[in-house]
Amino acid sequence: MSINRRNFILQSTLGVASVAGLSSCEPEKKPLEFSSLASLTSLTKDIIPITVEERLTRIEKAQKLMVENKLDAIFLDGGTAMDYFTGIRWGTSERMMAAIIPAKGEVKYVVPHFEEERLREMIKIGSDVRVWEEHESPYKVVAQIFADFGIRTGKIGMEERVRFFLFDGIRKEASTLEYLSADVVTMNCRLYKSAAELALMQKANDVTLAAFKTVVPLLKAGMTQVEFASLISEAHSNLGASGGALVSFGESTAFPHGSKKPQALKEGDMVLMDGGCSVGGYASDITRTIVFGEPTKRQREVWDIEKASQAAGFAAAKLGDPCEEVDIAARKVITDAGLGPGYKTPGLPHRTGHGIGMEGHEWGNMVLGNKLPLAPGMCFSVEPTISIYGEFGIRLEDCAYMTEQGAKWFTEPSPAIDRPFV
């Protein structure tokens, strides 16, 4: 098939149907249709950021969980968890900037003295800022905060991304305290998304899907994977979000996270694009796999197995059932087709999905052994991959979220190998 003919066919299939029947608490899906990069306009001007009131509700829930789990406070390093609870985005360095949330009382902050005014510009919750000079120990400041809270013996939860040197310094300075993982608090807050969070995630998925729809017709023979990835990044930017994609052509599509091998697109190659973006602090993650040109019988057969596997994984996402059922169901389709078994290739070499929210990968993996029950507000990818090294690979990935009525897609899956979008 000629390139012009192929592009005409792809352009004729790039519309996204509206999705009706959503309840008021579910994110709205709207039809998206674009012809080129130049025609793109921002889709994110109307987003509603997470409010201070919602963050206060999160802190209230965290404090309740601390009491239930006998934690006296949790320590947050600069990063996603701090952003989640306080709305403060702060880059990490060798200098401690931290937030401490007690089981009872208001959040307190620790920051280098010369950064105090910058931090105060950002603070929306709490007002107590403790500073330390360059020649002083921030760990003594943290220990004093614990003492001010009346915590002289007890348990402190350390958020999972706290860097070891900070933890080590704190435990030496406040050695009478016991230090545990704060996952029982942070995970159980962040796992279950609110309506506001789902709306931001829906917008992020809308943007990535629109970016993919725009760039697929721009594929051309001789293009490198780097060139195609740059188009995807540009499309995301024009649509109002920071995002991009991992791109692979031909045999390299068998590598789940790509190959460094230089790739130039040619007729008959598989094309895999795995991308996402962030909108209002919330992530998307979508993968589409197509053929540049006319698919072979072999490509169609394997693609259809992948499609059936993804559908089976989604169908297995039932309220109250463990996360692992998604992986079990998706993997069974692949092994029943004679691939695998288990993680062996040709077959599915990794878990079927991961949790997603503020970060592209969060708690709630769809993997064998995860007995966590699926519940409203949980968000996750369904992305079984079929890797056939030396030939090609296929991954179809869309993210879903649990509602009181069951699982819903953020984006509708690909209908067919030569029709990547609904």
pLDDT, one tens digit per residue, over 145-160 is: 999 999 999 999 999 9
The pLDDT, as a whole number, for residue 38 is 87
CATH of the domain at 80: 3.40.350.10
Q: Element (H or E) spanning 305, and its range?
A: helix 297-315
Helix/strand/coil for 131: strand
* Same-domain status, 27 and 108: no
| Domain assignment present for 415 | no
- Estimate to the nearest angstrom the gap between the alpha carbon of 361 and the chain centroid: 5
Residue 294 tokens read as 């006319």
Pseudo-torsion of CA 46, 244, 397, 350, nearest 10°?
-140
Residue 239 has pLDDT above 80, yes or no: yes
Average pLDDT on 12-23 reads 32
Instruction: Between 277 and 11, name the one with better pLDDT.
Output: 277
- Percentage, residues of the chain above pLDDT 70: 92
Rg (CA), the chain: 24
251-307: per-residue pLDDT in tens?
A: 999 999 999 899 999 999 999 999 999 999 999 999 999 999 999 999 999 999 999
Judge whether 87 and 55 are in contact, CB under 8 Å. yes
Q: How many CB atoms lie within 10 A of CB 8?
A: 12
The pLDDT, as a whole number, for residue 36 is 81
* Same-domain status, 275 and 402: yes
| Domain assignment present for 156 | yes
* Same-domain status, 25 and 81: no
**CA geometry: angle at 29 spanning 25 and 30, to 5°?**
135
Range of the domain at 287: 8-39+192-409
Residue 79 has pLDDT above 90, yes or no: yes
Distance CA 101, CA 98 (A): 10
* Same-domain status, 294 and 145: no
Residue 23 has pLDDT above 50, yes or no: no
Residue 33 has pLDDT above 60, yes or no: no
Residue finishing a domain among 190, 209, 235: 190
Judge whether 235 and 257 are in contact, CB under 8 Å. no
Q: Among candidates 376, 197, 194, 161, which has minimal Cα distance to 281?
A: 197
* Same-domain status, 131 and 176: yes
- Percentage, residues of the chain above pLDDT 90: 90
The pLDDT, as a whole number, for residue 26 is 56
* Same-domain status, 282 and 363: yes
| Domain assignment present for 99 | yes
Q: What is the largest CA-CA distance in the chain?
A: 74
Hey, what amino acid is at 268?
A: G
| Domain assignment present for 26 | yes
Q: Among candidates 319, 296, 411, 399, which has minimal Cα distance to 357?
A: 399
| Domain assignment present for 71 | yes
Q: Among candidates 346, 330, 352, which has minimal Cα distance to 393?
A: 346
The pLDDT, as a whole number, for residue 397 is 98
Average pLDDT on 310-326 reads 98
Distance CA 32, CA 85 (A): 33
The pLDDT, as a whole number, for residue 21 is 31
* Same-domain status, 170 and 198: no
Residue finishing a domain among 159, 190, 221: 190
* Same-domain status, 59 and 164: yes
Whole-Å CA distances, 238 to 14, 31, 209, 227, 282: 18, 18, 13, 17, 18
* Same-domain status, 223 and 345: yes
Residue 29 has pLDDT above 90, yes or no: no
* Same-domain status, 288 and 302: yes
Token pair 């309840």: residue: 23
| Domain assignment present for 419 | no
* Same-domain status, 137 and 265: no
Distance CA 336, CA 340 (A): 9
| Domain assignment present for 420 | no
Mean pLDDT of the residues in the chain: 92
Least confident piece of the model among 37-41, 225-229, 334-338:
37-41
| Domain assignment present for 131 | yes
Distance CA 363, CA 361 (A): 7
The pLDDT, as a whole number, for residue 195 is 98
* Same-domain status, 157 and 256: no
Residue 47 has pLDDT above 60, yes or no: yes
Residue finishing a domain among 127, 155, 190: 190
174-195: per-residue pLDDT in tens?
A: 999 999 999 999 999 999 999 9
CATH of the domain at 368: 3.90.230.10
What total number of domains does the chain contain?
2
Q: Is 0.75 topped by the overall pTM?
A: yes
Residue 75 tokens read as 């320590």
